[in-house]
Structure 1
Amino acid sequence: CITISPENKVFCGLWAGVGFGVLYPDRKAFSYYTFRPEDRLRDWYNDLEFDKKGNLYLGFWGGPGLTLFDYHKGTFGKCLKTRFHPAFSSRLMTTLQLDDKGHLWLGTTDTGPHLYFPEEDTAIDFLNQLSKKEALDLQKVYEIKKDNTGSIWIGARGLYLARTENPQPLQKIKLDERYAGLEIYDLLPEQKMLVWLLTDRGLLRYNHLSGGISDYSSIVKLRFDEKHTGAVRLKDGRFMFAGSNGLAIVNTKKINLNLPRPNVYLSSLLVFDKVKIANIRKEETIRLKHNENFFTIQIGSDVWDTDNTFRFSYKLEGFNKEWIALPSSEREAHFTNVPPGHYIFRVKVEDNLGNKYTNVAECSLSVIPPFWNRWWFISFLVFSVFLLTFYFWWARVKGLRLSLFNSELNQKLLRLQMNPHFIFNSLSAIQNYIYTQQTHLAGNYLSDFAHLIRLILDNSRNELIPFEKELETIKLYLNLQKLRFENKFDYSIRVDPELNNGEYEIPPMLAQPFLENAIEHGLKNLNRKGFISIRYQWLNGMIHFELEDNGIGLVASSSHKEKTKSGHKSLAISICKERLETLRKKRGGNIAFRLEEIKTSDGKVGGTR
């Protein structure tokens, strides 16, 4: 190891326990200094370094470790090994380097790099800041050098960089995968962030700005190892390198490492490992369905079979945020779960000199969204939801209106059934039985009257009632009407056997308005005994109700009302029409009724149906 003092004296560290010496060129003399002459095992030097104050630091390989030396007096100063951790192992020093702030960087064989602060007389080590795997690569430091910007470069198993203003943590330079595990025995920084690397794979030149490495090993055929390495920049700008097999002077201006631009093309596209497009043209836009978003693009080049001079990267713009390095053994770019959209696939190439060739191959690619993700379907869906919401709101309002209307109809029907004339005349007839001492009949009819009123009130609360209850109400009503009209008519009720099983329900009080019409307008003014025929049938899944009377008919009834100017206004038919229409809207189906006169064979009116 060699270093120059502030007075331009040459200090040289010697190996094999001899010590170190000072060369006096003017006197052609050489002075030797030995730390412990009686013990040559302690006097091995790997590096010497002067600080800005003129202090000389001795980098022992073993012995006392880092030690100060007063070269003016020729005496050894204090030993600094206790400032480092671990103190014993850190004595095995390999290199020293003073940074721009006057701090001393030192490398060791077993404990990695350390940084000593002379003003505070303290030191820090870096291995304890790393994982075990990372620390293993930095355990043995070969060389530490400072560049013209003040940055510190460290050569170990890999390349490391530290900034003087913020030395922690160390930055491990990410080199190309071809240089994994690279042993860097020596290094020589130059301007523009270029660093020469003397490695186990020959002479390399690293460009920190581009991240590329230029390989000079095929031109400068030096072999380097831990003990045989050296590098210096000459005054004329050339570089001198030393290895185990000799010296070499390199003039970079006369060495041309430029490589021809590689030919790159996109060969085919696979979807789920099946070929979809066999030959991709640059101007072609590839269109994929939404379920074809797991695909592979195969890349071709005329440099695949050469050495690892070129590095390939790819990017699917719009999907990948960063360029993805293509491993040297790979020829395909894989993509999974790519969302619908328009993308541009690009390939770029970089050689080991740091030259970059962008967009050497590209193509446009679109993943078409499914129909349920397209604007027209979303618009249709929103519109459909709006229509459905409106429909349900309208149906709800309509249902409420129908319920209200039905309730009003039931009230009208109840008032119709609770006709004051009917109630008054029925009670008068029962009273007559009481006056004539026919108390038994009066009691029976009074009980029937009360039961009828109770049924009418109960049934009016329900939308549907069992068929048997409706039949019971009709019988009670007709019996009381017979009493009221003094048995002026008879009646018969025929029921289909299917309707007697108790499983059918019908709207309450549906037949009563028609019975009232038959009695009041058909039989009341009849000069003979009247008859009402009632029939319930089960036809085609529906209940068919039929009522016939042998009264005066529809036309005669209307004429009689006009002649007598009767104040009685029948609402039965209109209420029933409204009620049946409401029931049809609410429950669907074919619900209707027909009103007609019965004609005899000779054309006369025989009643109403």
Structure 2
Amino acid sequence: MNFGMEDGLAESHFIFNSYLKDQDGTIYFGCPGGFYSVDTKNYKKSDLIPNTVITKFDILGNESTESPSENFSLPIQGIGSSEKLELPYNSNNIAIEFSSLDFTAPNKNEYTYKLEGINDFWHHTKASNRNANYNDLPPGKYTFKVKSSNSDGVWNTTPTELSFVIAPPYWRSNLAYFIYIVLLAVFIYIAFLLVQRWYTLKKNLVAETISREKDNEINRMKMVFFTDISHELRTPLSLILGTIEKVVKEKKFTLSPLTSQRIYNNTLRMHRLINQIMDIRKFDEGKLKLRISKNDIVRDIRTIKNAFNDFARIYEIKYHFICNKEEIRGWYDVDIMEKILFNLLSNAFKHTLKKGK
């Protein structure tokens, strides 16, 4: 047990090894001005549990803000234990003072404190430092707890509490977060609409490009077809013109059966080519229909073959139709078959050299 001037001593300096204990248990200590006696029988340790109080709650000015605030104190007496202080976000530098209601030897009282929300361990301090400082506290809920002991080291295990809240800045408030979420949702929705519109425009552009390319290809194919048809028409027309010129020059205005047949075949060929041109429009309008009937395919092929006899004779091309049967009957469209065979034979004669086979 230690005793000092706070216990009633007038001297703080004692002579080394100057002490004595008598038979009654009284202890004597020598000092420059005399001696002190301590009757140990009369000493009794105080068991009184001290009450701990928070005496001051200071809000320190924040010089780092654009508008620095001044220091001010809040009245602790008007704050109930169930109430919470609400502080703005820029009042986050605080100082709390506390004390013990044991006045036997106040300088020998001890304290321990902590701030829940920042740390979970107790800070121990002496009576000479009865305050706690906290700087730059983030927004949140806090509870300050403090306990004290009397001059004889008896602790009050029930801490005194003070709760307070530091509100977040307006840009971090619940309303601000709600506005952020709404703006984000609007932005995402607008972005979705823009992407969807861009995709639709791109899709339409691709479809239009493909359609234009398809139309250009169809037009090119039509031009090729009409060019080929023109050449095909010129061949029978030349044959007919040659026959008529021969008749006019010889002044024989009667036609032999062979000449008549020749003119007829070439006229028939021209008629079929013109029908092919007409069928293109029907095909584009979806009006082209099949006319299937039962016919003799050998006879029809021979008729088509005879239409190219003059062409083969002029270019000295060996040209024959060989079939083991005189008649083969079947179901088919005569016009479609004639168009197919006329095209095949026309291309064959076109790419066959003179005196070929």
Same fold (TM over 0.5): no
Please give the TM-score of this superposition, normalised by the length of structure 1: 0.29
User: Which is greater in Rg?
Assistant: 2
Greater relative CO (CA pairs within 8 A, separation 6+): 2
Which protein is richer in helix relative to its size?
A: 2
Structure with the larger strand share: 1
